[in-house]
Amino acid sequence: MFQNQSNSFFFYYFFVSLFFSFVRSSAKNDSSSYAFCPKSTCNGVEISYPFWRLDNYNTSAPQYCGYPGFGINCSENQPLPIIYLPSDAFYVKSIDYKSYSLALVDADVFNVKCPRARHNLTLEKLPLKFSDSALKLTFYFNCTKNPGDALPAECLKSGTYFYVGEIEPDDLNWFGICEEKVVTTVTKRRSFQNNDWIEGFGAAMGEGFVLDWRSASECGQCEKSEGRCGYNNSTHNLLCYCKDGTVKFKHCKGTPKTLAIYLSSY
Ligand SMILES: *[C@@H]1O[C@H](CO)[C@@H](O)[C@H](O)[C@H]1NC(C)=O
Ligand SMILES: *[C@@H]1O[C@H](CO)[C@@H](O)[C@H](O)[C@H]1NC(C)=O
Ligand SMILES: *[C@@H]1O[C@H](CO)[C@@H](O)[C@H](O)[C@H]1NC(C)=O
Ligand SMILES: *[C@@H]1O[C@H](CO)[C@@H](O)[C@H](O)[C@H]1NC(C)=O
Ligand SMILES: *[C@@H]1O[C@H](CO)[C@@H](O)[C@H](O)[C@H]1NC(C)=O
Ligand SMILES: *[C@@H]1O[C@H](CO)[C@@H](O)[C@H](O)[C@H]1NC(C)=O
Ligand SMILES: *[C@@H]1O[C@H](CO)[C@@H](O)[C@H](O)[C@H]1NC(C)=O
């Protein structure tokens, strides 16, 4: 009996102090943070939520507003803003906030007449996917002969071959024939026949491709309450930047339901 009572007292104080620490931190106006994720413009490209300015990032500030991995570098002396995807740096040609899409060019191939793809593009866990207009080009380098019925990349060194789209055979055994395989992405070209790709792959790579983003699943609650999602960089806690200038946990509407129900039972 006594045991039970002290237990319930313990839980009471535990939840009450949790509640008040929650209220305190959620009501705190953090003027050092990027108040409600301001917009900026960089080489004509508008940078706003869920993207954020990596070059403005205040390294001593413990939090930022926007999706992790969606930081954009706007430094001077760059032709376009840069986003760092897991595999490499990509120039951001445009961002369309209405259709949730961004147009990118691999920084390695920008303004190179006959570009060589250097790395596979990987999106890992980012809330990004290839748009319907995306088309794969699969390159094989330093081949002793054509590994199958691939097209020759004539402007590159001999021994470079590529496939357009998904037509590469599944069982293609390129080991021992070629030294390296790289899968890159361009935009579909309806008018192109195979022979047009032989001459035109460089221009297509230089024009880049489009990715679509979707709401990061863990940010749904915050965005529904008209907040902007961010993270505490030191604790990796989800934060919600609200319209009234406050920073809360999870979402902008009051206390979490479970906690309120627990407290109302006392
Ligand atoms: C936070 O700032 C907003 C305006 O920016 C103000 O309306 C609100 O009262 C402030 N909240 C606290 C707890 O200071
Ligand atoms: C942004 O790019 C510049 C040069 O292009 C580089 O010097 C700088 O370190 C980059 N900043 C960040 C935060 O990555
Ligand atoms: C960076 O953030 C720290 C801590 O939040 C703050 O004290 C400092 O004034 C900020 N510096 C700038 C340049 O915003
Ligand atoms: C291909 O050959 C060139 C020299 O012709 C060499 O520099 C390069 O390392 C080779 N391997 C790959 C994977 O490109
Ligand atoms: C790219 O991905 C393929 C598998 O799709 C892999 O075989 C190849 O080694 C990768 N290339 C590089 C440069 O990592
Ligand atoms: C972020 O984490 C740091 C370190 O734990 C903490 O001092 C800071 O108050 C946190 N910021 C927010 C808004 O929770
Ligand atoms: C987050 O903190 C780490 C060090 O803890 C730092 O290297 C990194 O640059 C920070 N993230 C951002 C977006 O600045």
Does residue 25 line the site of ligand 2, with CB under 6 A? no
Residue 19's pLDDT is 39
Task: Return the residue whose CA atom lies nearest to atom 1 of ligand 4.
Answer: 142
* Residue 177 and residue 110 in one domain: yes
* Residue 197 and residue 150 in one domain: yes
Does residue 133 line the site of ligand 6, with CB under 6 A? no
Percentage of the chain exceeding pLDDT 70: 80
Distance CA 90, CA 45 (A): 14
Average pLDDT in the chain: 82
Stretch 160-174: mean pLDDT: 90
Residue 178, φ and ψ in degrees, nearest 5:
-120, 160
What is the count of structural domains for the chain? Answer: 2
Distance CA 152, CA 187 (A): 19
* Residue 115 and residue 181 in one domain: yes
DSSP characters for 103-169? EEEETTTTT-SS----S----TTSSEEE-TTEEEEEEEES-SS-SSSPEE-TTS-TT-EEEETT-S-
Domain ranges, residue 135: 105-214
Whether 11 is in a domain gets the answer: yes
Residue 35's pLDDT is 59
Residue with tokens 């054509």: 146
Whether 79 is in a domain gets the answer: no
pLDDT digits (tens, 9 = 90+) for 40-74: 899 999 999 999 988 877 666 667 789 988 999 99
Distance CA 179, CA 194 (A): 24
Q: Return the bridge partners of 67, or none.
A: none
Residue with tokens 């946990």: 249
> In one letter, which amino acid is 228?
R
Task: Return the residue whose CA atom lies nearest to atom 7 of ligand 6.
Answer: 62
More reliable by pLDDT, 260 or 151: 151
Pocket test for ligand 4, best of 120, 179, 181 (most atoms within 8 A of CB): 179
Task: Return the residue whose CA atom lies nearest to atom 4 of ligand 2.
Answer: 75
Residue 64's pLDDT is 79
Distance CA 58, CA 112 (A): 34
pLDDT digits (tens, 9 = 90+) for 137-150: 999 999 999 999 99
Q: Return the bridge partners of 232, or none.
A: 63
Q: Which residues of 39-77 are buried (b: 16+ CB within 10 A; e: fewer)?
A: eeebeebebbbbbbbbebeeeeeebbbbbbbbbbbbeee
- Record the pTM: 0.78
More reliable by pLDDT, 188 or 28: 188
Does residue 165 line the site of ligand 1, with CB under 6 A? no
Measure the CA angle with vertex 59, ends 55 and 65; round to 5°: 70
Whether 7 is in a domain gets the answer: yes
* Residue 160 and residue 244 in one domain: no
Whether 9 is in a domain gets the answer: yes
Does residue 25 line the site of ligand 1, with CB under 6 A? no
Does residue 57 line the site of ligand 3, with CB under 6 A? no
* Residue 238 and residue 162 in one domain: no
Does residue 167 line the site of ligand 3, with CB under 6 A? no
Distance 244 CA to ligand 1 centre (A): 6
Q: Which positions ≥6 away from 146 have C-beta within 8 Å?
A: 152, 161
* Residue 208 and residue 220 in one domain: no
Q: What ligand 5 atom has the least distance to the C-alpha of 183?
A: 1
Is the pLDDT reported for residue 216 higher than 90?
no
Residue 130 C-beta-side C-alpha neighbours within 13 Å: 15
Residue 264's pLDDT is 39
